[in-house]
Structure 1
Amino acid sequence: MNTTEIFLLAMLLIFVAPYLVWRLGRTDYFAPLVVVQIIMGIVLGPGVLGAVFPDYHTFVFNPDVVKSLNGIAWWGVMLFVMLAGMELDLKKAWQHRRESVTTAGLSLGMPLLFGCAAAALLLNYEGWMGVKAADWQFTLGIGMACAVTALPVLVLLMEKLAILRQPMGQRILRYASLDDVAIWGVLALILLDWNRVGRQLGFLAAFVVLTFLFRRLMARIPGGDRWYVALFWLIVCSFGADWAGLHFMVGAFLAGVVMDAGWFEQDKLDSLFKTVLLVLMPVFFLSTGLRTQWNMGSYSVFFVAGLLLVASVGGKLLGARMAGKVLRWKEGEASIIGWLLQTKGLIEIIFANILLDKQIITSETFTALLLMAAASTMLTIPVVYPKLNKVQNRRLVEQASS
């Protein structure tokens, strides 16, 4: 077979395998399709499929095919991260700033502390910290990986729970939005290359100036042209960030943050988001899965994944409970909010990918973070659904009695 035919076989495998598992296994309650795609990306990687069928894996995912898949994956994740940045509504967060800052700070700070403690433990063992990382970079990187909230996946899960447009859903979006900004800001700090600090400061300065010009341009041009200009802007920002030594995904996120969703028709934005998830992101999951390694033994990787999961979930729940005490939330709200905010999903994978690319973590640590992200996301719906029903039923009883 030629490279084109092998590439198409790989694409067929990427799209068919997760769909069949999701549809025939009826996993939607505990594992929506996006979660199944993440897991299947791991299964199709060298750690599972490559170990069971090494010759077949090498034949299908040969270097030429992998290069082609990586190109699609890069473009897909750039679009996805840009759309994630556009989800942030900082105006609403400012209107409810005391509640938003308190909750976002605690729900970010507690898992960050727990994650840093887990990283400090891992520093005592070889094979987890990347060769180009300082101790503080590894510790802070793992801490932030435990603090991540997957905003786009959170939107999908709240839509599934039918609370996205309700007051609680909008509150959770505000909290997650502020955490998202903080996470990418800290990531930029972690990636700061002191040997290239001038280039990075130059990129940030140019970004500020160009953002002012870009926003003025977008406000004046017709709606149809805004889509094309937005793509130009995405590519320029991604290139600039990568050239400066940060990462192209940092640039993609910044490109989205400074865009107003109001510039575009909401139904078209929603359609684009779903299209990217359907058409492009499965390739990204596969390219991510190709990075998974089990060189240190399955038990060690699973132990570290479990440690990080405890740090992440425990930190989020404690932070939400503390916020609930300070802000006097109603009974049951803190647990629901904490469980929803601990959803990792795609943003965790993107975050871990960047740490791996910059050799701050090893492939084994990356695998542990990947497993933690999948488990975190799979826990959300089964845990939150009964809790949400209990709170809603209590409110109905209270309304009936009054």
Structure 2
Amino acid sequence: MNTTELFLIAMMLIFALPWLIWRLGRTEYYAPLVVVQILTGILLGPGVLGQAFPDYYSFVFTPGVIQSLNGIAWWAVMIFVMIAGVELDLKQAWQHRRESGITAGLALGTPLLFGAAAAGVMLLSDGWLGSQGQSWQFVLGVGMACAVTALPILILFMEKLAVLRQPIGQRILRYASLDDIAIWGVLALILMDWTRVGRQLFFLLAFALIAWLFRKLMARLSEGDRWYVALIWLAACGFGADWAGLHFMVGAFLAGAVMEAEWFDQEKMDQLRHHVLLVVMPVFFLSTGLRTTWTMGGEAVFFAAGLLLVASVAGKLIGVRIAGRVLGWAPGEASIIGWLLQTKALIMIIFANILLDREIITSGAFTALLLMAVASTMLTVPMVAPKLARLRELIGRSA
């Protein structure tokens, strides 16, 4: 078969298998379709399918097919990250800056410290630190991966739980938005290439100037033109950031962060996110699964994933509980907010992909982080739904 035919076979697998598992297995409560897609990507990767049926795996996932899938995956995830940037609500965060700052700081800082400690334990044995990574980059990167909140998936979960447009949902979005900024800032620090620092400074200065001009332009355009110009801007920012050595995903986030959500119809933005998730993001999940490996041995990878999961969950819940005590929240409120902010899939997977691209972590560490992200995300709805049912009056609290 030629590359086109093999590519189409791969696409059938990408879309058919997760949907069948999700629909026939009725996994929606504990594993939404997006989580099933990630797990299916792992199953289709070299560590599972490649080991069980190496001839079949090498027949379908040839270098040409993988290259084609990667191109789709890059653009899909760039659009998704841009949407996350657009949806940052910094105005609301500023209006409630004390509450938002305390909660976001503790919700990020505590799991970051716990995750960094777990990373230090991992460094006691070989096989986790990438060939181009330094110990501080590994510790900070893994620590931040434990602290990440996936804003796009958080939005999907809060829609499912019917709290997104409620005051408590808007509060949680404020906390997650501030953490998102910190996450990408830390990533930029980790990726800072001191041999190309001049190029990176030039990019940041040029971006600040061009972003100011871009905002002036967007304010004058009709909404129909804004959508098209936004995609051009996305490609330009991604190119600039990658050229500077900061990775195109940092550029994608910056591209969205300087855009105002009010420039776009909210319903259309929600539809765009939904359609990107439906049409192209499954390709990214498959591409992610193709990068998993169990060469260190399944026991070591699962032990590392369990250690990271404990650090992530405990750190997030403890941090938010401390914030709740400082701010005088009602009993049970901190638990609901802490579990919702625990959602990790997508943004953490993107974060881990970047660390793997830069060889700061190995494929074994990447696999452990991926398993941790999936497990923490699967815990969210089963833990939050019963709590919301008991404490429904908390939904209406605005601060």
Distance 2:227 2:175 in 1: 28
Deviation at 1:239, TM superposition (A): 0.1
Matched, 1:270 2:270: yes
Structure 2, unaligned runs of 5 or more: none
Residue of structure 1 equivalent to 2:187: 187
Distance 1:179 1:266 in 2: 22
Cα deviation digits, residues 272-320 of structure 1 (max 9, x gap) = 1101000010000000000000001101000000000000000000000
Structure 1, unaligned runs of 5 or more: 397-402
Residue of structure 2 equivalent to 1:221: 221
Please tell me the residue identity of whatever aligns with 1:354. Answer: I
Distance 1:395 1:140 in 2: 35
Deviation at 1:87, TM superposition (A): 1.2
TM-score normalized with structure 1 length: 0.97
Deviation at 1:395, TM superposition (A): 9.2
Please tell me the residue identity of whatever aligns with 1:237. Answer: C
Residue of structure 2 equivalent to 1:167: 167
Deviation at 1:121, TM superposition (A): 1.0
Matched, 1:131 2:136: no
Deviation at 1:78, TM superposition (A): 0.6
Q: SS at 2:127's partner residue?
A: coil
Cα deviation digits, residues 47-90 of structure 1 (max 9, x gap) = 11111111001000000100000000011011010001111010
Deviation at 1:225, TM superposition (A): 1.0
Aligned-pair identity (%):
72
Please tell me the residue identity of whatever aligns with 1:117. Answer: A
Residue of structure 2 equivalent to 1:100: 100
Asked if the contact 2:166–2:395 (Cα under 8 Å) also holds between the matched residues in 1, the reply is: no
Asked if the contact 2:321–2:334 (Cα under 8 Å) also holds between the matched residues in 1, the reply is: yes
Deviation at 1:388, TM superposition (A): 1.0
- Cα 1:257/1:12, change in 2 over 3 Å: same
Task: Name the Cα RMSD after superposition.
Answer: 1.1
Residue of structure 2 equivalent to 1:400: none
The 5 Å alignment of 1:247-258 reads 247-258=247-258
Residue of structure 1 equivalent to 2:239: 239
Q: SS at 1:125's partner residue?
A: coil
Runs of 4+ deviating beyond 4 Å: 393-396
Matched, 1:391 2:391: yes
Please tell me the residue identity of whatever aligns with 1:266. Answer: Q
Distance 2:194 2:378 in 1: 39
Asked if the contact 2:167–2:395 (Cα under 8 Å) also holds between the matched residues in 1, the reply is: no
The 5 Å alignment of 1:3-402 reads 3-392=3-392
Q: SS at 2:280's partner residue?
A: helix
Q: SS at 1:24's partner residue?
A: helix
The size of the alignment, in residue pairs, is 396
Distance 1:372 1:55 in 2: 30
Please tell me the residue identity of whatever aligns with 1:256. Answer: G
Distance 1:159 1:24 in 2: 23
Distance 2:50 2:139 in 1: 31
Distance 1:221 1:173 in 2: 28
Cα deviation digits, residues 23-70 of structure 1 (max 9, x gap) = 000000001101111111111101111111110010000001000000
Please tell me the residue identity of whatever aligns with 1:142. Answer: V
Asked if the contact 2:29–2:381 (Cα under 8 Å) also holds between the matched residues in 1, the reply is: yes
Please tell me the residue identity of whatever aligns with 2:218. Answer: M
Moved more, 289-298 or 221-230: 221-230
Cα deviation digits, residues 183-221 of structure 1 (max 9, x gap) = 000000000000000100100000000010000000012
Please tell me the residue identity of whatever aligns with 2:52. Answer: V
Q: SS at 2:163's partner residue?
A: coil
Distance 2:132 2:387 in 1: 44
Cα deviation digits, residues 116-172 of structure 1 (max 9, x gap) = 101111111100011111111111001100000000000000110001011111110
Deviation at 1:394, TM superposition (A): 8.8
Distance 1:205 1:169 in 2: 35
TM-score normalized with structure 2 length: 0.98
Distance 1:224 1:271 in 2: 15
